[in-house]
Amino acid sequence: MTPEDRPTSAKALLSQGKAQRAAGRLDDSIVLLRRAVAFNPNDPSAHKHLGISLYNAGDIPAAIASHKMALSLDPKDAESWSNLGIALYAIREMDAAVDSLKKSLEINPQNGATLSNLGVVLMELARWEEALTALRRAEAIMPQGVSLSEEQKLEVLAEARKEKVDEFRERFANPYVAAERGYIDAVIRPSETRRRLNQALDVLATKRDKNPPKKHGNIPL
C-alpha cells in the first residue's frame, strides 16, 4: 500500500482493514484497523473488526481484549458476543464461552452459526441435553450448516438420553429420596446389613406379646 492509497478517516480505515482481511493480508488489516481505532476509539465496529483480524492471525488474547472493548461500547451487538465466545473457546475458557454465546443468542436467537458453536462447546462440557437442543435449533435454521456427522449426532442423542436417565436415578430412583419424604425409617448400607439385622433379632428375642386385660363381660341380651 503506497502513501497515496492510505485512507485518512476512521470509516475509510475500517473499510480498507476489512478489505485487506478478505484478501488474506492480515498484517495490513490489523495495522489499518488499529489506526481506525486510534482515529475513533469510541467506534465499536472498529474494535470488533480488529478483534476478528487478530483472531484470524492467531493473537487470541488481543482479540478477546478487542471484543470486550467493542462490547463495552455496544453491549447489544450479538456478533461481538458470538466472536468473544469463539475466542474464549479457543483458549479453553469453556464456561465463559458458553455465557458469551448465550448472550449473543439472547439478542439474536435465530443465528444458526452461533447455535451450532454453542452446541459444540456444550458437547465438550458433556452437557449433552443442552448441546442437543442447541444443535437441533441450529439445524432447523440452517439444515446444511451443522457440521456434525450422523454418527456424532447419534452420539449426542445417546449421551443426552443417558444424562436424563442419570438425572432421574439421582433424583428419584434412590432410597434417600424416600427416606427424606418419610416413606422409610432408615437407609441401611450393605456393609451394615448383618449388624442391623442382628440388632433387630436381639430385640425380638425377648419380646412377649401380651393381650390387654379384659374390661367387660358379655353384653346383656
Its sign, for the CA torsion 84, 90, 95, 101, is positive
Residues 163-170: what's their mean pLDDT?
Answer: 63
Which is higher by pLDDT, 58 or 140?
Answer: 58
Q: How far apart are CA 14 and CA 20, in angstroms?
A: 10
Round the average pLDDT of the chain to a whole number and report it: 82
Q: Find the distance separating the first CA and the last CA of the chain, reported in whole Å.
A: 125
- Taking the whole predicted model, whether its pTM rises above 0.95 is answered as no
What would the grid cell of residue 40 be?
A: 475513533
pLDDT at 60 over 80: yes
Q: Is the pLDDT of residue 50 over 50?
A: yes
Q: Is residue 4 pLDDT above 50, yes or no? A: no
Task: Compute the average pLDDT of residues 28-39.
Answer: 93
pLDDT in tens, 103-143: 999 999 999 889 988 988 988 888 888 888 888 888 888 76
Query: Residue 215: its pLDDT value, please?
Result: 66
Q: Scan for cell 469453556, then name that residue.
A: 94
**Nearest alpha carbon to residue 138 among 159, 101, 113:** 113
Pairwise CA distance, residues 166 & 50, whole Å:
45
Question: For the purposes of burial, counting CB atoms within 10 Å of the CB of 131, is it exposed (0-12), middle (13-18) or buried (19 or more)?
Answer: buried
Could you tell me which of 44, 48, 78, 81 has the C-alpha nearest to residue 63?
48
Beta carbons of 70 and 53 less than 8 angstroms apart = no
Q: Would you say residue 172 has pLDDT above 60? A: no
